[in-house]
Amino acid sequence: MTDSIIDQCLEYNRRYAAGEAPHVAAYPGKQPIRPARQLAVVACMDARLDVEDLLGLQTGEAHIIRNAGGVVTEDALRSLVISHHLLDTREIMLIHHTRCGMLAFTDDLLRAGLEGDAGAEKLLGDATGRKFTSCGAAASSPSAFHAFRGELEPLDAPPSEQSRERLRWDVRRGMSVLCNHPWVPTEGPDAVSVRGFVYDVDSGALEEVSYPGAMGGP
């Protein structure tokens, strides 16, 4: 049996992608506050990802942090620092996925559409297949939407090598944030392991992303 919890989760994922159901969806009774597997996961909020199912995790075994894109934002980082230093997690798993909506826009395009730019509204409507309705007002928050770098594609477009590479870029950016943050130790007796993945929503399988590597241009 491997000592790596993430490697164990990858074995569960292989079973999940083959049609098994490793996760038990039943109330387990009283649980301790610390996650039993000492694992933290940052994943996208996409409805097609059931993180516990695809990793074979049971209630009480891991911290699951989700947002649009599975991005290591300031708030995700805040949660991870607390997760490690106060609640003893030892491994961090970042999960992006194919057909992600974050591939279909840029921060500037979405902001312009929300503020009332007609051209941006049309582009966003064409990309999403729904009428985009402007709010007609500017706002300072959120300061960023963290859309993925690279050439835009229609919402939910079939995966291509280009879109997969865009996903890998952003996974590596998140890994870089964590691996270079002074409050996320990756060496020494309190070290945490950081690994990144792309989940294929059509097959149920995870692909590991190498690090370091390309992170895309502006």
d(CA 81, CA 171): 18
pLDDT level of residue 215 (50, 70, 90 thresholds)? very high
Length of the chain: 218
d(CA 106, CA 162): 16
Vertex 217 angle, CA 211 and 218, to 5° = 130
Tens of pLDDT, residue by residue over 63-89, are: 999 999 999 999 999 999 999 999 999
> Is residue 1 over pLDDT 50?
no
Tens of pLDDT, residue by residue over 22-31, are: 777 778 889 9
Tens of pLDDT, residue by residue over 41-55, are: 999 999 999 999 999
d(CA 83, CA 194): 13
Q: Where are the alpha helices (DSSP H) in the chain?
A: 5-17, 51-55, 74-87, 107-115, 118-128, 161-179
> Is residue 2 over pLDDT 60?
no
Q: Express as a percent the part of the chain with pLDDT over 70.
A: 99
> Is residue 94 over pLDDT 50?
yes
pLDDT at 25: 74
End-to-end Cα separation, the chain, in angstroms: 43
d(CA 168, CA 160): 12
Domain ranges of the chain: 5-102+156-209, 106-144
DSSP summary character for residue 101: G
Domain 5-102+156-209 indexed as CATH 3.40.30.10: no
Residue 94 pairs in a beta bridge with: 42, 196
